[in-house]
């Protein structure tokens, strides 16, 4: 392991499936806090329920609060208000933060509470067996949409920005340097910072969408990413099966 | 006797009790008939150096409560039936993570929206069994504005002492009652043991309560609602770990029933009939017992100040001593059913679910009916 990993990881193995993007995201979160030289004693990670909620807990050597499904942001709000010296980083999944926990996400953004929320978006409910999430692209097959999802997904960066978040960014885990940079910016933001990491799920998403081969799955993901400039030339419905990547701030 | 005497609403007295007990965090959501607690602490808690936040719903309120408690705060919320129902999952989380927090429940007529401004005591079973799995909260039941103050303080102390969610199970009538209350300081304040060297989720000590460091203390805490070992590592497929954890979080409360349980016994020594009551109904029950005594009926009152853990020993002591037990309550017999589990004699339930307080005359009539 590298020095940063030795410094921050509790264990040498994770529970993630092979090919899962959440291990890369774990590395990005650790490198971001390491480069920011945050005092471990005053650093708190909060997560909900689901695969992404296992990114900090129990992997990261700091205070961690692994909460109920959907409620991570509300727990984090309480901890931050009770002890404002804490740097509080929520790491959780797309279903956790935007479906069952959507209300807490928009209200924390509205209040501009000084939290960082990192959303590991694998576009599916991984831990429960591959059901549709509010982030599942149109057309993607899941355990509950075997013919393909027909409902458009949330644009979570747009959602939190509309609710008042001063900083939001979206990157695939195939761009770790951008992710590290954005996590650092979100932590340094005086207020609510949001980073969405597009993360492939080979076990539940890949095998249902003829993307069993890991390189195919990662190539597919990269191919769906468009920059904000490119997105401006596209129709909104074309974006329902793509990821607009980049930063959003004032 | 210290402290000034004021005429206060019960809900305001609960807020004053929270401040006196050292509450430093309040999260809540408006709901009738509890909102005066939220409003009073919105005004007074920040001035006292604490943090107040109105959350987006009750799911968020109880979550914020637990987050704040682990950040070192003494935290409280207040709610009523519908909000309490929303808090049930969070209650289970507080129980399994052994998080001290105080929930004031100003009970109103249910189920569902029911009658928002009307009194009931229909939440007694819910707080004990409403979250899935086995846990044992503490619940106290005030009958006066003074007890709204005193029992809120006691709830904070018991929550800290046993690392458990503690309820003040009040009702609309006591919550909105206005009478004199002494805002005294005649009590000890229990502070948390924040030792970071010992495991925070397991102990071999007989009292079963491990130390609880806070975030920022350098303990690198692992707090999880999943089954965990004594250091907080998830152990979700380990039968022994689950048995040990669930056993301890229940046992640490039940084993200390003698310390936690408080009852108010009146005229019981020579009683042939006992009225068992709690909350606002306790006032009517005392008036009824006094009236019955004047009429020559040897009636007594056992007022339950602690509802959970249930005062089993005190109820069992009535068996054989009195001929009949009458349990008046503003629900369909929730506590009467519990009393029946612990005595062999006759237990008569006086239920009233019309949104109004039970009047003394109804209890007098019922006692005379069962003795006839």
pLDDT tens digits along A154-172:
999 999 999 999 999 999 9
Interface of A with B (CB under 8 A): 40-42, 44, 46, 57-58, 61-68, 70-71, 74-83, 85-86, 103-104, 107
pLDDT at position B1, please? Answer: 61
Angle at A32 between CA A27 and CA A37, to 5 degrees: 125
Burial class (CB in 10 A: 0-12, 13-18, 19+), A248: middle
Contact flag B70-A81 (C-beta cutoff 8 Å): no
What residues of B are in contact with residue A70 (Cβ under 8 Å)?
A: 59
Contact flag A68-B53 (C-beta cutoff 8 Å): no
Shortest CB distance from B67 goes to which of A41, A61, A75?
A75
Q: Which residues contact A25 (CB under 8 A, 6 or more apart)?
A: A52, A55, A91, A118, A120, A173, A179, A197, A199
- Mutate which of B22, B24, B28, B60 to disrupt the A interface (most A C-beta within 10 Å)? B60
Angle at A169 between CA A164 and CA A174, to 5 degrees: 160
Scanning every residue of chain A, which has its alpha carbon at the shortest distance from the alpha carbon of B88?
A68
Alpha-carbon dihedral sign for residues B107, B113, B119, B120? negative
The answer, yes or no, to whether the previous bond of A58 is cis (omega within 30 of 0) is: yes
Query: Which CATH number characterizes residue A49's domain?
Result: 3.40.50.970
Alpha-carbon dihedral sign for residues B43, B46, B50, B51? positive
pLDDT tier, A3 (very low <50, low <70, confident <90, very high otherwise): confident
Instruction: Give the whole-number percent of chain A exceeding pLDDT 90.
Output: 94
Length of chain A in terms of residues written? 250
Tokens of residue B266, six digits: 């009146």
Query: In angstroms, what separates the C-alpha of B226 from chain A's closest C-alpha?
Result: 8
Spatial contact of B54 and B35, defined as CB atoms under 8 Å apart: no
Helix (H, G, I), strand (E, B) or coil at B230: coil
pLDDT at position B348, please? Answer: 98
Spatial contact of B362 and B337, defined as CB atoms under 8 Å apart: no
Q: Which residues contact A228 (CB under 8 A, 6 or more apart)?
A: A244, A245, A246
Alpha-carbon dihedral sign for residues B210, B216, B221, B225? positive
Closest CA to A163 of A112, A221, A239, A206: A112
What residues of A are in contact with residue B214 (Cβ under 8 Å)?
A: 83
Contact flag B24-A85 (C-beta cutoff 8 Å): no
Query: In angstroms, what separates the C-alpha of B272 from chain A's closest C-alpha?
Result: 51
Spatial contact of A183 and A118, defined as CB atoms under 8 Å apart: yes
Beta strands in A138-201 (DSSP E): 167-172, 193-198
Task: Determine how many CB atoms are found less than 10 A away from the CB of residue B277.
Answer: 30
Cα-based torsion angle of the residue sequence A26, A27, A29, A33 in order, rounded to the nearest 10 degrees:
140
pLDDT at position A1, please? Answer: 65
Q: For residue B296, is it left (φ>0), alpha (ψ between -120 and 50) or beta?
A: left
ipTM metric: 0.97
Q: Which residues contact B200 (CB under 8 A, 6 or more apart)?
A: B210, B211, B212, B213, B219, B221, B230, B231, B232
Alpha-carbon dihedral sign for residues B147, B261, B126, B276? negative
The CA distances from residue A44 to A72, A184, A201, B354, B365, in Å, are 12, 15, 26, 49, 60
Scanning every residue of chain A, which has its alpha carbon at the shortest distance from the alpha carbon of B225?
A67
Contact flag B234-A58 (C-beta cutoff 8 Å): yes
Instruction: Report yes or no: B89 at the A interface, CB cutoff 8 Å.
Output: yes
What's the rounded Cα separation, in Å, for the pair A191 and A109? 8
Instruction: Report yes or no: B116 at the A interface, CB cutoff 8 Å.
Output: no
pLDDT at position A13, please? Answer: 81
Sequence ranges of the domains in chain B: 1-260, 264-371
- Mutate which of B42, B222, B232, B237 to disrupt the A interface (most A C-beta within 10 Å)? B222
Contact flag B67-A41 (C-beta cutoff 8 Å): no
pLDDT tier, A250 (very low <50, low <70, confident <90, very high otherwise): confident
Task: Determine how many CB atoms are found less than 10 A away from the CB of residue B164.
Answer: 23
Sequential pLDDT tens for chain B (372 residues): 678 999 999 999 999 999 999 999 999 999 999 999 999 999 999 999 999 999 999 999 999 999 999 999 999 999 999 999 999 999 999 999 999 999 999 999 999 999 999 999 999 999 999 999 999 999 999 999 999 999 999 999 999 999 999 999 999 999 999 999 999 999 999 999 999 999 999 998 889 999 999 999 999 999 999 999 999 999 999 999 999 999 999 999 999 999 999 999 999 999 999 999 999 999 999 999 999 999 999 999 999 999 999 999 999 999 989 999 999 999 999 999 999 999 999 999 999 999 999 999 999 999 999 999
Q: Crossing angle of helices A72-82/B58-70, nearest 10°?
A: 50
What's the rounded Cα separation, in Å, for the pair B321 and B317? 7
Q: Which residues contact B41 (CB under 8 A, 6 or more apart)?
A: B15, B18, B19, B23, B26, B28, B52, B76
Residue B116 sits at φ, ψ, to 5 deg, of -65, -30
Find residues 22-81 of chain B whose CB sits inside 8 Å of chain A: 24-25, 27, 51, 53, 55-57, 59-61, 63-73, 75
Task: Determine how many CB atoms are found less than 10 A away from the CB of residue B264.
Answer: 15
A217-224 mean pLDDT: 95
Q: Determine how β-strand B101-109 pairs with β-strand B115-119.
A: antiparallel
Residue A66: which H helix or E strand, with range?
A: strand A63-66
Q: Which residues contact A221 (CB under 8 A, 6 or more apart)?
A: A172, A174, A198, A200, A243
Q: Total domain count for chain A?
A: 1
Query: In angstroms, what separates the C-alpha of B60 from chain A's closest C-alpha?
Result: 5
Length of chain B in terms of residues written? 372
- For domain B1-260, give the CATH number: 3.40.50.970
Spatial contact of B44 and B210, defined as CB atoms under 8 Å apart: no
- For domain B264-371, give the CATH number: 3.40.50.920
The b-or-e profile of B105-122 (16+ CB within 10 A means b, else e) is bbbbbbeeebbbebbbbb
What DSSP character marks residue A225? Answer: E
Closest CA to A100 of B172, B99, B153, B59: B59
Contact flag B67-A42 (C-beta cutoff 8 Å): no
Domain that holds residue A162: 3-249
What's the rounded Cα separation, in Å, for the pair A91 and A118? 5
Tokens of residue B31, six digits: 């709901």
Q: Is the pLDDT of residue A101 over 90?
A: yes
What residues of A are in contact with residue B54 (Cβ under 8 Å)?
A: none
The b-or-e profile of A11-30 (16+ CB within 10 A means b, else e) is eeeeebeebbbbbbbbbbbb
What's the rounded Cα separation, in Å, for the pair B12 and B306? 21
Instruction: Report yes or no: B196 at the A interface, CB cutoff 8 Å.
Output: no
């Amino acid at each position: 392991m590298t020095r940063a990993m030795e410094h921050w990881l509790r264990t040498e193995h994770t529970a993630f499936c092979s090919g899962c993007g959440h291990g890369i995201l774990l590395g990005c979160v650790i490198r971001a806090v390491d480069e920011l030289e945050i005092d471990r004693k005053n650093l708190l990670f909060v997560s909900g329920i689901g695969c992404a909620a296992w990114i900090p807990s129990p992997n990261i050597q700091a205070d961690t609060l692994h909460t109920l499904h959907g409620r991570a942001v509300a727990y984090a709000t309480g901890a931050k208000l009770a002890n404002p010296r804490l740097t509080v980083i929520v790491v959780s999944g797309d279903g956790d933060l935007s479906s069952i926990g959507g209300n807490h996400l928009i209200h924390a953004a509205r209040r501009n509470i000084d939290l960082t929320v990192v959303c590991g978006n694998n576009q599916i409910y991984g831990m429960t067996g591959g059901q549709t999430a509010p982030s599942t692209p149109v057309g993607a097959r899941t355990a509950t949409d075997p013919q393909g999802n027909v409902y458009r997904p949330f644009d979570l960066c747009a959602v939190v920005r509309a609710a008042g978040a001063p900083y939001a960014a979206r990157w695939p885990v195939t761009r770790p340097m951008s992710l590290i940079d954005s996590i650092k910016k979100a932590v340094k933001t005086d207020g609510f910072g949001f980073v969405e990491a597009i993360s492939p799920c080979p076990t539940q998403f890949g095998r249902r969408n003829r993307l069993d081969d890991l390189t195919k799955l990662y190539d597919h993901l990269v191919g769906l990413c468009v920059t904000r400039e490119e997105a401006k030339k596209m129709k909104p419905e074309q974006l329902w099966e793509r990821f607009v990547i980049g930063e959003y701030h004032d | 006797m210290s402290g000034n005497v004021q005429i206060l609403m019960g809900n305001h007295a609960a807020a004053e009790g929270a401040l006196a007990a050292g509450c430093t965090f309040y999260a809540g959501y408006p709901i009738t008939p509890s909102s005066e607690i939220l409003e009073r602490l919105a005004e007074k808690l920040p001035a006292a150096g604490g943090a107040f936040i109105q959350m987006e719903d009750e799911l968020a309120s109880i979550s914020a409560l637990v987050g704040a408690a682990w950040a070192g705060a003494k935290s409280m919320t207040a709610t009523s039936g519908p909000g309490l129902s929303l808090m049930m999952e969070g209650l289970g989380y507080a129980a399994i993570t052994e998080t001290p927090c105080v929930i004031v429940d100003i009970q109103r007529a249910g189920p569902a929206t029911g009658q928002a401004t009307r009194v009931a005591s229909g939440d007694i079973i819910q707080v004990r069994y409403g979250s899935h799995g086995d846990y044992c909260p503490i619940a106290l039941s005030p009958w006066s504005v003074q007890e709204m103050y005193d029992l809120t303080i006691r709830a904070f102390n018991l929550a800290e002492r046993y690392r458990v969610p503690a309820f003040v199970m009040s009702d609309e009538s006591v919550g909105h009652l206005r009478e004199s209350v002494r805002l005294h300081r005649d009590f000890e304040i229990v502070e948390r043991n924040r030792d970071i060297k010992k495991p925070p989720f397991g102990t071999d000590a007989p009292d079963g309560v491990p130390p609880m460091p806070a975030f920022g203390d350098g303990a690198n805490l692992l707090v999880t609602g999943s089954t965990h070992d004594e250091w907080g590592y998830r152990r979700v497929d380990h039968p022994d770990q689950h048995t040990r954890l669930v056993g301890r979080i229940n046992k640490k409360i039940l084993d200390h029933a003698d310390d936690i349980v408080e009852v108010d016994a009146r005229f019981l020594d020579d009683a042939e009939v006992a009225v068992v009551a709690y909350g606002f109904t306790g006032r009517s029950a005392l008036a009824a017992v006094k009236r019955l005594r004047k009429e020559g009926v040897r009636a007594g009152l056992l007022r339950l100040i602690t509802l959970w853990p249930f005062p089993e020993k005190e109820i069992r002591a009535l068996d054989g001593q009195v001929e009949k037990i009458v349990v008046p309550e503003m629900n369909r017999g929730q506590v009467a059913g519990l009393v029946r589990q612990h005595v062999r004699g006759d237990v008569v339930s006086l239920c009233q679910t019309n949104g109004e307080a039970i009047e003394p005359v109804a209890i007098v009539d019922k006692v005379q009916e069962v003795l006839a």
